Structure 1
């Protein structure tokens, strides 16, 4: 039996606003905007996507699943994401080489350094 990853689901208080934020952050396109679902993908024909759905409650604790982004230039990307509305967060990472940020609804994600081949 074959299986493929279709999408990641993100619950959000403002699912459309958060979806638009992530579309800008990743440079992805909106493929679904129905009012109840908001989906973005790197390319409309390419999976996986990220599907944002509305929930009534806010985020309470640290995420148990998060995205790691690997830009060419970590410092420039952190500056760009903070300008878009991300914020620095401390989850106990101390002196690690990655930067932990949170999106506008507080979901943590990491900005890694360049890959060493």
Structure 2
């Protein structure tokens, strides 16, 4: 196959602030691009980079795609990420083993149960 998954693109009103927030959450380095965007580089080149792109409009509806993050300790990570500015959201998930949160610009993501 001639394709490689290289970037996940995240629209943002404030690319620097949102990229800095996710850099703190993930522990990944952030770099400015020549185009004025910000990229988070996947450590060791494993997985796609996250590219934050400036858009004028705010998020209006539930994400059609989202991130699932697997922690070592779910409760500790949920508390840490909420402490950084995430908030719990209800998208109709009911009682589940994962926790649905939103980043500072309202993008939903899940912190899954820790793998055993």
Bucket of the pairwise TM-score, normalised by the shorter protein: over 0.9
Give 1:34 deviation, angstroms: 4.4
Matching residue of 1:61 = 61
Q: Equivalent residue for 2:23? A: 23
Q: How is 1:77-88 mapped onto 2 (pairs within 5 angstroms)?
A: 77-88=77-88
TM-score (norm 1): 0.92
Q: Which residue of 2 aligns with 1:3?
A: 3
Change (3 A) 1:47 1:111: closer
Q: Is the 8 A contact 1:37 1:54 kept in 2?
A: yes
CA–CA distance in structure 2, aligned partners of residues 77 and 45 of structure 1? 24
Shift of 1:32: 3.0
* 1:93 corresponds to: 93
Provide the TM-score with structure 2 as the length reference. 0.92
CA-based RMSD: 1.5
Q: Which runs of 5+ in 1 are unaligned?
A: none
